[in-house]
């Protein structure tokens, strides 16, 4: 018997799959070569110059009977190492690539995940930067609407 992966895991895997495609034709950057899930790291000398981080936040149940309607905010961070002249240009190019990878209608998510509910939660914001940090970035907050059956997270 094969088990279906939980919906939350499939959502994160799909975010990672789509964002990992950010390189080459159709994109301005190669940020998809490094996609972190669950953390937004500081980029060090051994890391690529640009990267993406996917941070799942706390979900919220909006309907509760046998079927649960789940609102799940997921932040996508566009990251680059500090460069006094080009860091923000690089970040803005990554932001554009993220929007292409996640938002274009002709890019379908895994067919059995209800992603028509994918939307941007709020405006793009600057990622906080600690003193001495060598990483700058921007955060794109998304909201994923998924449905689960009580006791069956798949």
Question: In the prediction, which pLDDT does 115 show?
Answer: 57
| CATH number for region 7-133+144-149 | 3.30.2000
Gap between the Cα atoms of 56 and 41, Å rounded: 14
> What is the pLDDT at residue 113?
52
What is the pTM assigned to this prediction?
0.87
Give the pLDDT of residue 76. Answer: 97
Q: Look at the chain and count its residues.
A: 154
pLDDT means per 10 residues, the chain with 154 residues, are: 77 91 93 94 88 95 81 94 80 94 64 63 86 88 85 73
The percent of the chain in helix, strand and coil, each rounded to the nearest 5, is 25, 30, 45
Predicted confidence at residue 107, as pLDDT, reads 45
Cβ contacts of residue 22 below 8 Å, gap of 6+? 29, 30, 31, 32, 52, 94, 97, 98, 100, 101
Domain residues of the chain, as ranges? 7-133+144-149
pLDDT score recorded for residue 118: 82
How many C-beta atoms lie closer than 10 Å to residue 56's C-beta? 16
- What is the spatial distance between Cα 13 and Cα 25, in angstroms, rounded to a whole number? 22
User: What's the CA gap between 140 and 22, in Å, rounded?
Assistant: 16
Q: How far apart are CA 89 and CA 83, in angstroms?
A: 10
Predicted local distance difference test score (pLDDT) of residue 117: 67
């Amino acid at each position: 018997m094969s088990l279906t992966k939980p919906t939350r895991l499939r959502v994160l895997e799909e975010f990672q799959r789509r964002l990992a495609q950010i390189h080459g034709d159709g994109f301005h950057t190669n940020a998809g070569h490094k996609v972190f899930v669950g953390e937004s790291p500081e980029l060090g000398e051994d890391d690529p110059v640009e990267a993406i981080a996917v941070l799942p936040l706390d979900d919220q149940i909006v309907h509760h009977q046998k079927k649960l309607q789940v609102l799940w905010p997921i932040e996508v961070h566009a990251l680059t190492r500090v460069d006094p002249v080009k860091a923000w240009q690089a970040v803005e190019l990554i932001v554009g690539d993220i929007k292409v990878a996640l938002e274009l209608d002709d890019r379908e998510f895994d067919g059995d995940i209800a992603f028509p509910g994918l939307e941007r939660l709020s405006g793009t914001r600057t990622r906080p930067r600690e003193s001495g940090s060598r990483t700058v970035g921007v955060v794109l907050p998304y909201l994923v609407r998924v449905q689960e059956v009580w006791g069956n997270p798949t």
